[in-house]
Structure 1
Amino acid sequence: MARRGRRPGYHNYSTDELMLLCTVADKHKPLGENMWEAAALEYNSKRSRN
């Protein structure tokens, strides 16, 4: 049986990251794979790196 749950060391999204994700998703309203890729590119370019 496969082990469930997150891998050790995994961190949750911060509130700022969640707000950015919601903003980008609302702007793009992605339905298909190509639209999600565009949303992911924008999200990744705008999020802060730690």
Structure 2
Amino acid sequence: MLLAPDIRDWLVEDVVWVLRDIVAQLDITALNKRYRRGGTGRMAYDPRML
């Protein structure tokens, strides 16, 4: 097999996993309230992805 089944097997000690866990714990309800649903234009990106 050329690739690891899980990317975390290659990047075990990378800072990205710490940041991912921190972002997952953030309270983003205030951001979600500001998003308009059903408006014109393109759909907004999910705040957790930004």
Q: Same fold (TM over 0.5)?
A: no
In our comparison, the structure showing a higher alpha carbon Rg is: 2
Task: Say which structure is richer in helix.
Answer: 1
TM-score computed with the length of structure 2 as normaliser: 0.30
